Amino acid sequence: MLLYDTYPFKLPPLKYSYDALEPYIDSETMYYHHDKHFQTYIDNLNNVLKRYPALQRLTLKQLLRGNFSLSYEDRVTLHNNAGGVYNHDLFFNGLSPKGNGLYANSLSSLNSNTHLPQGELLAKINCTFGSFENFKEEFNKEALSVFGSGWTVLAIDNANRLKIVTLKNQDTVVPKNLEPLILIDVWEHAYYLKYKNLRAEYLNAIWNVIDFPIK
């Protein structure tokens, strides 16, 4: 995870192969999304930080929280690219091949299908949304409503309540003081090669490879 790293940031390797999420997410999309798009956010973030030595010891979260006296253009570049790195790190870490959830595999008491929420998280989802099916429906509705590029996130607030939030472009949940649990990228680059304009089909498919955190 990059969240506690500092400059120069490096692309974290995928924990699975490019084709491991087929047929839900195709390998060409995974390759371009991880090796090209994610890499570009990393490069652009490093490029802006190169000119500000005082910011080079800060973690991603500190960079996203801070209010630094930079030129307007550099502030926008920092915001967009630090956000892009933060969101993509969580996104790729939050996916795993179907039937092979990495979180649950580390816990011997759970069975191998972690593509469903379990334990405390499941109880919280049922309590907040009525059922897992209702939750997915509400989440996908929010994700479909994002106009242009952005993210939909299941997060937990300071009072330990679940919330579905949508974010524009590469905004993050950091300034909202929310802990992200599940992030889904709804930029077209996340699905266009396979699903073209059909964001709803991508949103239905991706739940097969979401690696639910054990909370």
Residue 19 CB, nearest approach to Mn ion (Å): 18
Q: Which stretch binds Mn ion (CB under 5 A): 11-19, 75-83, 150-158, 187-195?
A: 187-195
Minimum separation from the CB atom of position 120 to Mn ion (A): 29
Regarding 185 and contact with Mn ion (CB under 5 A), the answer is yes
Check residue 171 for interaction with Mn ion (CB under 5 A).
no
What's the chain look like in SS3? CCCCCCCCCCCCCCCCCCCCCCCCCCHHHHHHHHHHHHHHHHHHHHHHHCCCHHHCCCCHHHHHHCCCCCCHHHHHHHHHHHHHHHHHHHHHHCECCCCCCHHHHCCCCCCCCCCCCCHHHHHHHHHHHCCHHHHHHHHHHHHHHCCCCEEEEEEECCCCCEEEEEEECCCCCHHHCCEEEEEEECCHHHCHHHHCCCHHHHHHHHHHHECCCCC
| Beta carbon of residue 151, minimum distance to Mn ion (angstroms, whole number) | 8
By CB under 5 A, which span of 132-140, 149-157, 179-187, 191-199 interacts with Mn ion? Answer: 179-187
Window of 123-131, 168-176, 190-198, 200-208 that interacts with Mn ion by CB under 5 A: 190-198
Measured from the CB atom, is 91 or 212 closer to Mn ion?
91
Residue among 24 and 52 whose Cβ is closer to Mn ion: 24
Smallest distance, Å, CB 88 to Mn ion?
6
Stretch that binds Mn ion, among 108-116, 120-128, 149-157, 188-196 (CB under 5 A): 188-196
> What residues make contact with Mn ion under the rule CB under 5 A?
185, 187, 190
